[in-house]
Amino acid sequence: MRVKKKTQVKTDFKRANPNRPREISSKSRRIETKVAIQVPKVFRSDPRFDNLCGEFRERSFYRNYDFVNKMKEDEVKKLKEELQEETQPRRIEKIKYLIQRMENQIRAEKKRKLEEEKQEEEKRITIEALKEGKSPYFATKWARKERDLKEKFESLKEDGRLNQYMAKKRKHNAQRDRRHMPSEQY
């Protein structure tokens, strides 16, 4: 059995006070991690998993970033103007695509806002009922759906698109029913 000889490296240099120079061994080959030119290390954090960002609150999020929707509406107008002046086909395609996209987003946002308003309306009713002392009324899912259908029916009737809408609906339903029918192959 070979016994390895360990060379004693003096590492217990203690200085009288922290203003004195630091003392270390002059024999160790350890490379200190300090580099001549230091680049600050960038720490990136995902707000979804970062505790510091807190929990996601949908209402606050939409409220805070509402200004973007206003910007979108302005930009759609500008894009439409640009489209009229644009001559290159590729660019026209791009602008059309963008306009379509943005309009879809605006529409979706409006829809979402309506939903939010409805929910707030319901809450308001229940709170009022509680205040007055009456028993609160909580709407069921079907009640909500019924109310929505009624509203849609009314709005379509006003616009005059009711017939078109009903025809489409009938076709769609018929197709769905046909799927459940037995096929003719066997």
- The residues that touch another protein, with contacts defined as CB under 8 A, are 10, 13, 19-29, 31-32, 34-37
Kindly state the tokens that stand for 5.
């000889």
CA atoms of 63 and 61, how far apart (whole Å): 5
Q: Which is nearer to another protein, 4 or 10 (CB)?
A: 10
Q: Which is nearer to another protein, 14 or 70 (CB)?
A: 14
Which residues lie below 8 Å from residue 112, measured CB to CB, with a gap of 6+?
A: 62
Q: Which is nearer to another protein, 37 or 42 (CB)?
A: 37
Least separation in angstroms between CB 40 and another protein? 17
Q: Which is nearer to another protein, 10 or 44 (CB)?
A: 10
Least separation in angstroms between CB 9 and another protein? 8
Least separation in angstroms between CB 19 and another protein? 5
C-alpha dihedral (68, 73, 74, 80), degrees to nearest 10 = 140
Least separation in angstroms between CB 30 and another protein? 9
Q: Which is nearer to another protein, 29 or 48 (CB)?
A: 29
Kindly state the tokens that stand for 61.
């999020």
Burial of 89 (0-12, 13-18, 19+ CB in 10 A): exposed
In 3D, which of 29, 28, 24 has the Cα closest to residue 12? 24
CB 114 within 8 A of CB 124: no
Least separation in angstroms between CB 108 and another protein? 56
